[in-house]
Amino acid sequence: MQDAQGTLANKTGPDTADRKKSERKLKSRFIGMVAGLFLAHAYVALALHYTYMDSHNYFHTSYIALFGALLGGLLFCWHIGIS
């Protein structure tokens, strides 16, 4: 009976360290996904805010904001892909 308890104690030691490491990775990936999703939506909102139509019916928008939305979406997809 003592041998079984000793092997059980030896197995839980390294597993808990690996588990904590994987939980930390998952937490950082989740934070990255939320940040990427938030940034993508915020930059799309900025692009919509700065979009206007002139007297010749041409749309003008902020391409920097659209590029920020692209980067936010890429950040979100990166963290989804490595999960």
Q: Which of 13, 59, 57, 65 is nearest to 39 (CA)?
A: 65
CA distances from 75 to 17, 31, 43, 60 (A): 28, 11, 13, 26
**Residues 26-66 pLDDT 10s:** 898 999 999 999 999 999 999 999 999 989 989 898 899 99
Q: What is the pLDDT of residue 19?
A: 87
Tell me, what's the pLDDT at 69? 95
- Overall pTM > 0.75: no
Q: Which of 2-6, 47-51, 79-83 has the lowest mean pLDDT?
A: 2-6
pLDDT at 18: 86
Say how many C-beta atoms besides its own lie within 10 A of residue 48's C-beta. 12
pLDDT in tens, 16-30: 888 888 888 889 899
